[in-house]
Amino acid sequence: MVRSIIDTTDLSVEEIDGLIDTAEDMMEHPREYAHTCDGMILSTLFYEPSTRTRLSFESAMLSLGGRVISTPSADSSSASKGESVADTVRVISCYADIIAMRHHKEGAAYVAAQYSAVPVINAGDGGHCHPTQTLADLCTIRREKGGFSGLTVGLCGDLKFGRTVHSLINAMSRYEGIRFVLISPEELKVPSYVKNESLKKKNIPYTQVTDLEEVIGELDILYMTRVQRERFFNEEDYLRLKDSYILTPEKLRSAKKDLSILHPLPRVNEISVKVDEDPRACYFKQVLYGRYMRMALITKLLKEAGRL
Ligand code: CP
């Protein structure tokens, strides 16, 4: 079976550090990588909406000299006729050298990887995980802070359904001296399975609070997230919780001068646009780094699969 990436734990810490090194080299010397993937084809297979992840995968492959195929949406693919994920990836393996897949069901990318003849990269599976967003997050944090060890990381918002949060906790729990501050409404706390596997098992210190202003002064990283409307069972709960946290310049007055503010985007209302001018806001840099991290990951997997 070829190697696929379903979560960040499929990559060792050394491999993640190496991918960031490669991405940084790609940023500095893009022309040297412009033909790395000549003749290769990436298929994007997205069963859920996306702007960043889909376009950054496509931009990444085009920047490496490869090409891209995709269906406009799940509705216009044979998934709408009832074709299974297993059959779909078997078919796409005949057309493409690598697949980036997003699906609304947790575990769908894992199933796809079992049946695919080419590497599958999980581009987000339901409320489970989103490893390439985490690669973008880690690249941003390392560039802003010079490393990961010893940081106090605040995660704020929808920590229950926010798959980027789950992947980031999994990834950062493997570095020394990390402390997490989990800031959410009671109903949107980090799921027990993430706490058990990543935090309790490794004795990583963490606190759970509901008030952002109470803890903002302690944080080195503040990772804001959107309340995930599409995963709620009823609209009333979403409407009650959607504006639980809105980061404003006033709230940032008590934050550290070298705080780094991240957000996987899309943003709805949880960071005021007035914060965008603050030098601590990193979320648009994070988008750019995501493209280079995906370039590095595509290259690595295609090499390992013997296609480059
Ligand atoms: N961050 C992220 O996954 O954005 P998209 O949903 O636009 O891909």
**Atom 5 in ligand 1: residue holding the nearest Cα:** 50
pLDDT at 62: 98
Q: What is the mean pLDDT of the segment spanning 247-255?
A: 98
Instruction: Express each pLDDT in 67-100 by its tens digit.
Output: 999 988 888 888 888 999 999 999 999 999 999 9
pLDDT at 239: 87
pLDDT at 22: 98
Judge whether 97 and 307 are in contact, CB under 8 Å. yes
Number of Cβ atoms within 10 Å of the Cβ of 10: 14
Residue of 44, 48, 53 with the most ligand 1 atoms within 8 Å of its CB, for mutation: 53
Average pLDDT over the chain reads 96
Q: Give strand pairing partners of 183.
A: 156, 209
Q: What is the mean pLDDT of the segment spanning 111-115?
A: 98
Any ligand 1 atom below 6 A from CB of 51: yes
CA of 80 to the centre of ligand 1 (A): 23
CA of 136 to the centre of ligand 1 (A): 11
pLDDT at 75: 81
Domains and CATH numbers, the chain: 8-129+287-304 (3.40.50.1370), 131-283 (3.40.50.1370)
pLDDT band at 284 (very low <50, low <70, confident <90, very high): very high
CA of 50 to the centre of ligand 1 (A): 5
Determine whether 36 is an active site residue. no
Instruction: Express each pLDDT in 181-226 by its tens digit.
Output: 999 999 999 999 999 999 999 999 999 999 999 999 999 999 999 9
Any ligand 1 atom below 6 A from CB of 266: yes
Judge whether 119 and 298 are in contact, CB under 8 Å. no
Tell me which of 103, 128, 130, 195 is the catalytic residue. 130
Instruction: Express each pLDDT in 232-242 by its tens digit.
Output: 888 888 888 88
Residue 163, pLDDT above cutoff 90: yes
pLDDT band at 230 (very low <50, low <70, confident <90, very high): confident
Provide the whole-model pTM: 0.96
- With pLDDT > 90 as the criterion, what percentage of the chain qualifies? 90
Determine whether 130 is an active site residue. yes
Residue 18, pLDDT above cutoff 90: yes
Determine whether 102 is an active site residue. yes
What's the half-sphere exposure (Cβ side, CA atoms, 13 Å) at 169? 31
Instruction: Express each pLDDT in 264-280 by its tens digit.
Output: 999 999 999 999 999 99
Any ligand 1 atom below 6 A from CB of 8: no
64-73, 113-122, 280-289: which has the minimum mean pLDDT? Answer: 64-73
pLDDT at 79: 86
- The CA-CA-CA angle for residues 144, 298, 43, to 5°, reads 125
pLDDT band at 263 (very low <50, low <70, confident <90, very high): very high
Q: Give strand pairing partners of 43.
A: 69, 99
Determine whether 291 is an active site residue. no
Q: How far apart are CA 245 and CA 248, in angstroms?
A: 10
Q: What is the mean pLDDT of the segment spanning 120-131?
A: 96
Determine whether 53 is an active site residue. yes
